[in-house]
Amino acid sequence: AGDSAIHGYRRVGYFAQWGIYGRNFMLNDMVANGSVNDLTHLNYAFIDVTQDATCKSVDTYADFEKHFTADESVDGVADSWATDDIAGNFGQLRS
């Protein structure tokens, strides 16, 4: 987010976690097509909010468990099975 975000301008994108399935749309597609470069914010769908105001995943596989190949990943590095690092879309967002 640059100066424009500080002064009120927002360009918000939307990423649906379930897009990695039937639509085969990964976070790296937003990098490859350049759309991520125009965003100040990214809304991620979907997370549940419980009655006690706790955030909870509605799809732990997509959010934390899917191991992306190098071709599917944001940084071109495959997710490792040898570490306890977060995988899934949240791991890609950290990249």
Q: pLDDT digits over 11-65, tens only? A: 999 999 999 999 999 999 999 999 999 999 999 999 999 999 999 999 999 999 9
From residue 92, how far is each of 2, 6, 9, 10, 85 by CA, in Å? 22, 25, 26, 22, 11
Model confidence at 5, pLDDT cuts 50, 70, 90, reads: low
Which pTM was predicted? Answer: 0.84
Contact 26, 20 (CB under 8 A): yes
**Distance between CA atoms of 15 and 26, rounded to whole angstroms?**
9
**Distance between CA atoms of 46 and 18, rounded to whole angstroms?**
8
Contact 91, 72 (CB under 8 A): no
